[in-house]
Amino acid sequence: MANQTGRNSSAQNRLAQVGEHLQSSGPKGKSALLEKHADDIVVTAALRSAITRGRKGGFKDTMPADILTGVFKSLIERSKIDPSLVEDIAVGTVLAPGGGATEFRAAAIAAGFPVSAAVKSLNRQCSSGLQACVDVANAIKAGMIDVGIGAGVESMTLQYGPTAVTEFSDALEEVEESANCKVPMGVLSEDMAKDKGISRASQDEFAAHSFQKAVKAQKAGLFKEEIAPLTVKWTDPKTEEEKEIVVDKDDGIREGITPESLGKIKAAFAADGTIHAGNASQVSDGAAAVLLMKRSTAQKLGQPIIGKFVNASVVGVPPLLMGVGPAAAIPPVLAKTGLDKNDVDIYEINEAFASQCLFCINELGLDQAKINPKGGAIAFGHPLGCTGARQVSTLLNELRRTKQSIGVTSMCVGTGMGMAAVWVAE
């Protein structure tokens, strides 16, 4: 026991030394982050597909590699980047057999990238898309590559196993369509909600607000700039007729959701439980991609700069304490960048469950008005590997639209982790 205590003390001392080093290296704080330097890692394009409902939505008959191919093509068209300049592509995914390595390489080539563009897949569960962006940013910073893409994709329709999801087909009669609730993460989130005293009423209010914000944003056309319309084949489940459709809007967003309507839905995991299909993230399909390079490279190529990557943090938390990851991951990245929590204009925190998102907001003392201003995963879905890259597009577009500058993306991560990153819009 004494030896273990000694090892823990030694590890804490090393962490403290690393923290001191991080805090003393380079200019920090809001004013420093707003400065522009030639070696900044900038974003010149960030977009996503629409996010569609698992097993029912617009991408239910589309392979994930085909969604990714469409997003890659749109990224090339929108950025006007010469595909031959892209040296590496990282794609986050969670469910793809074999990690998706073969199909994502094929997707890149099919989209128009030359065979010289390398491709890798990676899985850090719900933060996979963000990890892909961070990996590419760090490779550029280290001088390994000059231009790269961080991306994410998931088809939960095709690859989310029947033992991992429970469908509540009748649960949302009051809100028109059914949503899905994830197991066993939902069970762990239920335990956390009870342990932290997060009431069902507060969860339902948060979830309803997510839907209402997303409806308002969709009607105002606020998602159009970040969504790349994709043409796909889709089979009508009623007539079995195959059609060609354009998927250009998130189809999980529903009008008329209120705390009262959500309050009528049966709890998912216990008779006296608080979590149900309406206050959990939807099972969904989608893809997203972010084009990254140094500012000097972007200026040389005439690429429009929409924002920059600043720094990221990833932490471990107790595996059975579901959802606390953002509360643990956000403070370190704020410390690394010298930011106060109030310096951040927008927080995109993934809504895996209303309970876990509420806990993180409350634990950090964040202003709810700054959280997911266009709604979140409860309203439009959480395609696991896609979300981290999707958040970058959503965040930078909203910061630019509202003439704000500093944002944070964050999410809880399965098996007990959290990840967060700081971005600056230009």
* pLDDT tens digit sequence for 314-358: 999 998 877 899 999 999 999 999 999 999 999 999 999 999 999
Q: Per residue of the chain (426 residues), what is the pLDDT tens digit?
A: 444 434 444 444 544 444 554 444 556 899 999 999 999 999 999 999 999 999 999 999 999 999 999 999 999 999 999 999 999 999 999 999 999 999 999 999 999 999 999 999 999 999 999 999 999 999 999 999 999 999 999 999 999 865 333 333 233 333 333 334 454 566 667 777 887 889 999 999 999 999 999 999 999 999 999 999 999 999 999 999 999 999 999 999 999 999 999 999 999 878 889 999 999 999 999 999 999 999 999 999 999 999 999 999 999 999 887 789 999 999 999 999 999 999 999 999 999 999 999 999 999 999 999 999 999 999 999 999 999 999 999 999 999 999 999 999 999 999 999 999 999 999
Backbone angles phi, psi at 401, to 5 degrees: -65, -40
The residue annotated as part of the active site, out of 181, 357, 360, 412, is: 412
Decide: residue 21, CB within 10 A, 0-12 exposed, 13-18 middle, 19+ buried. exposed
126 classed as catalytic: yes
231 close to 245: Cβ distance less than 8 angstroms: yes
181 classed as catalytic: no
412 classed as catalytic: yes
Q: Give the separation between CA 89 and CA 113, rounded to whole angstroms.
A: 10
With the C-alpha atoms ordered 316, 317, 318, 319, is the resulting torsion angle positive or negative?
Answer: negative
Q: Which of 91, 66, 86 is nearest to 76 (CA)?
A: 86
**Alpha-carbon torsion, ordered 60, 66, 72, 77, to 10 deg:** -90
Tens digits of residue pLDDT in 286-309:
999 999 999 999 999 999 999 999
Judged by phi (left if over 0) then psi (alpha if -120 to 50, else beta), residue 112 lies in left
Q: What angle do CA 195, 197, 200 make, to 5 degrees?
A: 115
Q: Give the separation between CA 190 and CA 111, rounded to whole angstroms.
A: 42
pLDDT given for residue 161 in this prediction = 66
Q: Which residue in this structure is represented by tokens 């059914």?
A: 178
The residue annotated as part of the active site, out of 133, 209, 276, 382, is: 382
DSSP states of 348-367: EE--SBHHHHHHHHHHHT--
Decide: residue 200, CB within 10 A, 0-12 exposed, 13-18 middle, 19+ buried. buried
Structure tokens at 279: 């206050």
pLDDT given for residue 5 in this prediction = 39
Q: Give the separation between CA 265 and CA 228, rounded to whole angstroms.
A: 34
Q: Give the separation between CA 68 and CA 59, rounded to whole angstroms.
A: 11
The residue annotated as part of the active site, out of 126, 133, 357, 360, is: 126
Q: Which residues pair with 150 in a beta bridge?
A: 90, 290
Maximum Cα–Cα distance for the chain, whole Å?
A: 70
